[in-house]
Structure 1
Amino acid sequence: MRLVAPLVAAVLVAALALFPLADANTYVLSVATIAFIYVILAVGLDLVFGYCGQYSFAQAAFYGIGGYTAAILYRDLGWSIWATLPAGIVVAGAFGLLLGVPALRVAGHFLAIVTIAFQTIVYLLLSSWTSFTGGQYGITVPRIEPFAAFGATREAGFYWLTLVAATLAVLLAWRLATSRIGKEWQAVRDDELLARAIGLDTVRAKLVAFVASAAFAGAAGVLIVYYLEGAYPADFAILTSATIIAMMIVGGRASIVGPILGAIAFTAMPEVLRATEDYRLIIYGTLMILAMTFIPGGIVGLVRTLAERRT
């Protein structure tokens, strides 16, 4: 039975990898590419929010930090995506450590306020520091075509690149969640005082959670900047953080699979309901209210409950 889930996951990833060969529809590949990037963001947020129980509303800030790191390194030093990708991860992770320090002193709603303030500060810097970030005009990056040497189109190349990145992110998140540090996160989430009393290093646990979550977002930021051919502050506003949180909550926190389902659902939803674009925030808010009221465990929690009832 332990081999069933990994086998199903491997078959699914293989099928997704072969999809562009069967259907080269540019629009579908574009939507899928964005979905994979959101998977990285949602799974990363789940580590600190879902597993460790730290109320972080700053995922879009780290997303932007990673993206702008890549754009600035290209503009000033001419670095390629392969050099800026690890740089974006490291810089975003460093800022995650910086934000994690206040988490050692505050918790709950107070921590949420701190992370919202951090998100706001980062957005204001990105949109106002014109000499460094380009302000509202952003920073353009060159058009690249991953895997063009193998005859792949730009859309197919980015599809495969983001699929690989999302797969690695999910595997790493699963490894962290099931390791000793993952157990420590859950102990901190459930009862931090008790966790500290039995000798767990709660300081290290929370800092690692913030750094890991921020690093995931930094990777996603680099990918989206090269995909959109530029870094623009509007892509990293607090609305983006709210959307990522909605993905995690609706999909199901602390489950790995839940954020994946939430990311796919929330990426596909605007395409399915394109006529209701003006009501997107209302739809997101309504879904979050319904999910937290009727299925607090998200989609994954609902499936588990139904399965238990059948048995």
Structure 2
Amino acid sequence: MRKPLAIAIGALALSALLLPAFAADGYVLSVGVTIFIYAMLAVSLDLVLGWAGQFSFAHAAFFGIGAYTAAIAQRDFGAGFWSGLPAGIAVAAVCGLLLGLPALRLRGHFLSIVTIAFQTIVYLGLTQWTSLTGGQNGISIQPIAGFETMARFYCLALVVSLAAVLVSWLLTHSRLGQTWQALRDDETLARAIGLDTTAAKLGAFVIAAAIAGAAGVLAAFHIRGVTPNDYTIMTSALIVAMVVVGGRGTLWGPLLGAVVLTVLPEWLSFAANYRLIIFGLLMIVMVIALPQGVVGAWMSRKRR
């Protein structure tokens, strides 16, 4: 990692850690928690989209699976956050494996269609299987004992998100990460030189789904409930936008995208009637002006 980038990331992490001491407003901390959740989602999707080169528009499905697993576990078995978190991770990882299997034979637009179909099936399941999910009414969740205040929950969310980012960073700098890059650049050549592309694809989907499941558990306890409308195809599109705006395959790009695309709608709240229009126009300008994303364009300039 470049020294200036490492210093900047360290400064941001320190600022995030000290925020509760200076922000008395619970709204600011709540937005901070939302940023942490979307940072986990964007970074984990980048493992599939940016590093392994596999198209996926189903990340909100894993997000919802993790959230509903924790909610159902608490409602039916009295499970808390500390048991709901590993349960949500495990169930989401298994679903990621099931989605990853078609990726062994499909690629490009065909894989995108399969992931959209999976996202739709999960959403319909959440809305229609009322005996399990509560349908449109969702499921309410009790707060975590000892973390009832927003400041304490903020610190918990910060630790969980930092752990997820650290795991992702270690993976991208491992042999598996090198295999993902080879798979992304030329799958045929990667297979010809003896790399296990099958395991690499499955690993990307499973790991990304597991982290998204953890983000779902965190989100469920943050808003103290789950409803299907939080896990639609539009949520998946937003997560993809965070990766693209920040820069695919950079790890730090999706973090930046998560911050910008979480804060921007809040900042545009003064223009409530035109917020989506302004948001959409800014997205179009960003994609046209910086097709590699913000961090991707910066890295390309540094290389030149």
TM exceeds 0.5? Answer: yes
Q: Residue in 2 aligned with 1:112?
A: 112
CA distance in 1, matches of 2:251, 2:45: 10
Return the offset for 1:231.
1.1
Alpha-carbon distance change, 285 to 204 in structure 1, aligned in 2, over 3 angstroms: farther
Q: Residue in 2 aligned with 1:86?
A: 86
Q: Residue in 2 aligned with 1:97?
A: 97
Asked if 1:174 is matched to 2:169, the reply is yes
CA distance in 2, matches of 1:146, 1:181: 38
- Counterpart amino acid of residue 108 in structure 2: G
Q: Residue in 2 aligned with 1:216?
A: 211
Q: Residue in 1 aligned with 2:196?
A: 201
CA distance in 2, matches of 1:288, 1:96: 29
Count residues with an aligned counterpart: 304
Equivalent residue in structure 1 for 2:262, among 256, 259, 267: 267
Alpha-carbon distance change, 197 to 247 in structure 1, aligned in 2, over 3 angstroms: same
CA distance in 1, matches of 2:254, 2:264: 15
Q: Residue in 2 aligned with 1:158?
A: 153
Q: Residue in 2 aligned with 1:257?
A: 252
Alpha-carbon distance change, 192 to 174 in structure 1, aligned in 2, over 3 angstroms: same
Retained in 1: the 8 A contact 2:80–2:144? no
Equivalent residue in structure 1 for 2:290, among 295, 301, 305: 295
Q: Residue in 2 aligned with 1:38?
A: 38
Return the offset for 1:277.
4.0
Retained in 1: the 8 A contact 2:41–2:215? yes
Alpha-carbon distance change, 31 to 306 in structure 1, aligned in 2, over 3 angstroms: same
Q: Which runs of 5+ in 1 are unaligned?
A: 149-153
Return the offset for 1:294.
2.4
Alpha-carbon distance change, 197 to 122 in structure 1, aligned in 2, over 3 angstroms: same
Q: Which runs of 5+ in 2 are unaligned?
A: none
Percent same amino acid at aligned positions?
A: 55
CA distance in 1, matches of 2:208, 2:275: 26
CA distance in 1, matches of 2:36, 2:214: 12
- Counterpart amino acid of residue 189 in structure 1: R
Retained in 2: the 8 A contact 1:145–1:157? no
CA distance in 2, matches of 1:293, 1:4: 27
Retained in 2: the 8 A contact 1:65–1:91? yes
CA distance in 1, matches of 2:209, 2:273: 30
Q: Residue in 1 aligned with 2:21?
A: 21
Return the offset for 1:189.
0.9
Q: Residue in 2 aligned with 1:151?
A: none
- Once the two structures are superposed, what CA deviation does each residue of 1:100-159 show, in whole Å capped at 9, x if it has no partner? 0000011000000000000000000001100011000001111335446xxxxx111121
Please report the TM-score for the alignment, with normalisation by the length of structure 2: 0.94
SS of alignment partner, residue 101 of structure 1: helix
Please report the TM-score for the alignment, with normalisation by the length of structure 1: 0.92
CA distance in 2, matches of 1:173, 1:98: 21
Retained in 2: the 8 A contact 1:145–1:158? no
- What root-mean-square deviation, in Å, do the aligned CA atoms of Structure 1 and Structure 2 show? 1.8
Retained in 2: the 8 A contact 1:36–1:162? yes
